[in-house]
Structure 1
Amino acid sequence: MTSKKMDIGPKDIISNLPEALICHILSFLPIEDSALTSVLSKRWRYLFAFTPYLVFDDSMFLRPCGHGVVPDYVTSWVLNVLERGVLDLDLHVTVYGVRLPSKVFVSKSLVSLRIESGNVRGIDVDDVFLPKLKYLYINTIMLGKADDCFEKLTAGCHVLEELVLNNVYSNIWNRSVSSKTLKRLTLWCIDYDKNPDSVSFDTPNLVYLKYSDYVARKYPKVNFRSLVDATIDLAMTSDQDAHASYEALVGNAKDFLMGICNVQILYLSANTLGVLTFCCESIPVFNNLIHLTIETRNVGWESLPPLLKNCPNLETLVFQGLRHRYTIKCGDVDGCLCKYSGEISSCLSLSPVKVLKILRFDEYGIENQIELIKLFLETMPCLEQLTIYYDTPIDDALIQVSSHLKNFAREASPNCEIQVIHDDVLS
Structure 2
Amino acid sequence: MDICCKDIISDHSKKDIISDLPEALICHILSFLPIEDSALTSVLSKKWQHLFAFRPNLEFDDAVVYLNPDGERNETIFENFVDRVLSLQGDYPINKFSLTCRDFTDPTCVSRWISNVMERGVSDLDLRCIVYWDNGTMPPDIFVSKALVHLRIETGNGAFIDVEDVFLPNLKTLYLNKVLLRHSDNGFVKLITSCHVLEDLFIMNICWDGYLKRSLSSKTLKRLTFFCEDVHAVNPESVSFDTPNLVYFVYHDCVADKYKNMNFDSLVYASICLQMTSHQRTHASYEHLVGNATDFLLGISNVQILELFANTIEVCIVIPSSSFLATLKQKEDKQVSVTCLAGWESLPVLLKNCPDLESLIFDGLHHNDTIKCEDVDGCLCKSSRGIPSCLSSSPVQFLTIWKFGEICDDYDDMEKQIELVMYFLETMPNLEEMKLFYDTQIYEDVISKLQMLVTSSKCTVYIIPEV
In the superposition, the TM-score normalised over structure 1's length comes to 0.87
Q: 1:400 maps to which residue?
A: 448
Please give the alpha-carbon distance, in whole angstroms, between the structure 2 residues aligned to 1:101 and 1:209. 30
Provide the residue aligned with 1:73 in structure 2.
109
Q: Does 1:294 align with 2:340?
A: yes
Partner of 1:346: 389
Amino acid at match of 2:356: N
**CA displacement at 1:75 relative to structure 2:** 0.6
- The answer (yes or no) to whether the contact 2:257–2:291 under 8 Å persists in 1 is yes
Per-residue deviation, residues 17-36 of structure 1 (Å, max 9, x unmatched):
12222121111122233334
Distance 2:249 2:160 in 1: 26
The amino acid that maps onto 2:228 is C
2: CA distance between counterparts of 1:241 and 1:377? 34
The match for 1:205 is 245
SS of aligned partner of 1:344: coil
Which of 40, 44, 52 is residue 48 of structure 2 equivalent to? 44
Contact preservation (8 Å) 1:401, 1:420: no
- Spell out, residue by residue over 1:144-180, the C-alpha distance to the aligned partner (whole angstroms, 9 max, x if none): 2253333222211111111011222445322221111
Is it true that 1:106 corresponds to 2:154 in the alignment? no
Of 424, 427, 430 in structure 2, the residue corresponding to residue 376 of structure 1 is 424
- Identity fraction in percent: 56
Show the 5 A alignment for 1:252-331. 252-276=292-316, 280=317, 282-285=318-321, 286-287=324-325, 288=328, 290-297=336-343, 301=345, 303-324=346-367
Q: What's the CA shift string for 1:372-399, capped at 9, x where partnerless?
A: 2222111222212112222242562353
1:398–1:420 Cα contact (<8 Å) kept = no
Tell me the distance in 2 between the aligned counterparts of 1:2 and 1:396: 70
Matched, 1:124 2:172: no
Aligned in 2, Cα 1:38/1:146: closer, same or farther, shift over 3 Å?
Answer: farther
Q: Any idea what SS the aligned residue of 1:14 has?
A: coil
Q: 2:182 aligns with which of 144, 147, 154?
A: 144
In the alignment, is the contact (CA less than 8 A) between 2:170 and 2:196 conserved in 1? yes
Describe the SS at the equivalent of 2:19.
helix
SS at match of 2:114: helix
Which whole-Å CA distance do the structure 2 matches of 1:327 and 1:129 have between them?
Answer: 47
Q: Per the alignment, do residues 42 and 376 of structure 1 end up closer, same or farther by CA in structure 2, a change over 3 Å counting?
A: same
Please give the alpha-carbon distance, in whole angstroms, between the structure 1 residues aligned to 2:373 and 2:175. 44
Could you tell me which of 222, 227, 237 is aligned with 1:183?
222
Distance in 2 (alpha carbons) for counterparts of 1:392 and 1:16: 56
Shift in alpha-carbon separation, 1:394–1:380, aligned structure 2, 3 A: closer
Cα distance change on mapping 1:327 and 1:232 into 2, 3 Å: closer
Q: Which runs of 5+ in 2 are unaligned?
A: 77-103, 329-334
Contact 1:361 1:389 in 2 (8 A): yes
Change over 3 Å in CA distance of 1:113–1:275 after alignment to 2: same
Deviations 1:277-315 (A, max 9, x none): xxx3x2222223811111244x8x3x5323223323322
State whether residues 128 and 153 of structure 1, in contact with CA within 8 Å, keep that contact through their aligned partners in structure 2.
yes
C-alpha distance in 2 between matches for 1:246 and 1:218: 19
Aligned-partner Cα distance in 2 for 1:93–1:70: 11
Deviations along 1:221-273, one digit per CA (max 9) or x if unpaired, are: 21111111111111101011111112323123222111112211111123213
Specify the alignment match of 2:236 in structure 1: 196
One-letter code of the match for 1:139?
N
Superposed CA deviations along residues 311-344 of structure 1, whole A, max 9, x for unmatched, are 2332211112223357796686643345636332
Answer yes or no: is 1:16 the counterpart of 2:23.
no
Distance in 2, Cα, partners of 1:218 & 1:312: 26
Partner Cα distance (2:371, 2:274) in 1: 23
Distance 2:381 2:306 in 1: 23
Cα distance in 1 for residues equivalent to 2:301 and 2:423: 28
Which amino acid in 2 is paired with 1:207? V
Q: 319-328 vs 76-85, which deviates more?
A: 319-328
* 2: CA distance, partners of 1:182 / 1:210: 13
Residue matched to 1:359: 402
- Give 2:192's aligned residue: 154
Larger CA deviation: 397-406 vs 25-34 = 397-406
Shift of 1:69: 3.6
Structure 1 contact 175–200 (Cα < 8 Å) conserved: yes
Task: Tell me how far 1:42 sits from its aligned partner.
Answer: 4.5
Match of 2:331 in 1: none
Alpha-carbon spacing, 1:237–1:2, altered in 2? closer, same or farther (3 Å):
closer
Contact 1:315 1:355 survives alignment (8 Å)? yes
Distance change in 2, residues 1:326/1:95 (3 Å): closer
Tell me the alpha carbon deviations over residues 29-80 of structure 1, each in whole angstroms, 9 at most, x when there is no partner: 2223333434444443443333110112233348555555421121111111
- Residues 420 and 239 (structure 1 numbering): CA distance in 2 closer, same or farther, change over 3 Å? same
- On the 8 A contact 1:257/1:284 being kept in 2, the answer is yes
Q: Report which stretch shifted further, 63-72 or 386-395.
A: 63-72
Q: In 2, are the aligned partners of 1:120 and 1:140 still within 8 Å (CA)?
A: yes
Letter in 2 for 1:266: L
Following the alignment from structure 2 to structure 1, what is the Cα–Cα distance between the partners of residues 299 and 175? Answer: 24
Counterpart for residue 81 of structure 2: none
Give the counterpart letter for 2:436 in structure 1.
I
Q: Which runs of 5+ in 1 are unaligned?
A: none
